[in-house]
Chain A
Amino acid sequence: MDTCIQKIRELAADLLERGEVEKVIGFAQGTIPMATSPISVGTKQGVDNLVFNSTCGLNLANFASRQKGKIAIIAKGCDCRNIVTHIVENQLQRDQVYIIGVPCNGMVNKFKIAALFEDEITGFAEDGDTLTVSSSSQTKTLKKQEYLRENCLLCTHKNPVLYDVLAGDLVKEQVLENAFPDVDKIEAMDVDGRWQYFKRLTQNCIRCYACRNACPICYCPTCFVDEAGPQWVGKGQNKTDVDTFHFLRAFHCAGRCTDCGACVEACPMGINVRDFTRKLNKDALELFGWEAGLDISKRPPLDAYSPQDPDDFIK
């Protein structure tokens, strides 16, 4: 078995046995191939359910706050950055969470793999950089690197930034020449081209809010889309309402989004929700030199005032 999974189980069992934490939050194998689901393990016997592989695309930081007692959490680089964001935003105290850091080599794009098969995928296994995916009619061997999610391809924080213990060896961080090629591509279009691009992007949105629910920084007790008095945005499939939801949700994530890709992972319609937040991440970096979730001692740019803040937008 994978040494990383073995290590996660050992650490979890030890923590639970010593009573250091009340529960361990991690990933369990899902009910279908290529799927994992979050799990909360409270007993030593339960740790055998914990897994970690290239399909653990959701962000467990979502479950870190609002817990009773101390918890342990299995955290990839992006999960760690979101735990840092939770601590910075006072949703969580550092001593309430024990972070089992997992250096991550990226998660796979399930839509891309599913598109290779005409029938349903019935088996998924990985060994290092090789994926073996099978359906009832064929078996394919794939290189993991070619099927990574877009945000993982552009990830420069694969290693956990804050942890109590590591469940694997640190991996080499990549250095990108251009961290935002996707944003640049949209920016190169003219104004109507961009409008059409986003129109096509959201045309299949069914307003299920899976992106919001999967997002670790969307933790408002009542989301603006659920509010009834006042009703900020219409609840139907009207295009303007759909766009307003995406635009405002993205803006609520400004300077906070870690580009973990959980929104895209959760979307049943395959919408690249990141196209909205990526622009804000680029702005945060260019205007404020800020990347979210790297340091628990720094305040986020929209939370702090500096006379150097750019103000050329205001008359």
Chain B
Amino acid sequence: MGNLLEHMGVERDRVHFSWISSAEATKFVDVVKEISEKVRALGPNKKFVKDYN
């Protein structure tokens, strides 16, 4: 799915996949930090956003 999104022009770092157990609090924090940093670096998303105006 990530591959097709990337193929259609959605940045690879925009979409992340992870499997985190409820017992893996530290992994959850690490993953969320990493995602936040990568997405912040890309700036606001303009693709696949519905414009209601």
CB-based contact B50/A313 at 8 Å: no
A-chain residues with CB within 8 Å of residue B48 when the two chains form the complex: 240, 243-244
Shortest beta-carbon distance, A11 to chain B, in Å? Answer: 41
A314: nearest residue on chain B (CB-CB)? Answer: B17
- Cα distance A241–B52 in the bound complex, in angstroms: 11
Per-residue CB proximity of B1-24 to A under 8 Å, as 1/0? Answer: 111111111110000111100000
Per-residue CB proximity of A144-187 to B under 8 Å, as 1/0? Answer: 00000000000000000000000000000000000000010011
Interface size bucket, A side? 20 to 34
A244: nearest residue on chain B (CB-CB)? Answer: B48
CB-based contact A195/B47 at 8 Å: yes
A197 lies within 8 A of chain B by Cβ? yes
CB-based contact A276/B50 at 8 Å: no
Number of A-B contacts (CB under 8 A): 59
CB-based contact B9/A197 at 8 Å: yes
A232 lies within 8 A of chain B by Cβ? no
- Cα distance A186–B7 in the bound complex, in angstroms: 7
**Contacts A195-B47, A250-B4 hold; do A314 and B9 have CB atoms under 8 A apart?**
no
CB-based contact A276/B4 at 8 Å: yes
CB-based contact A195/B4 at 8 Å: no
B-side residues, CB < 8 A to A, are 1-11, 16-19, 31, 34, 47-51
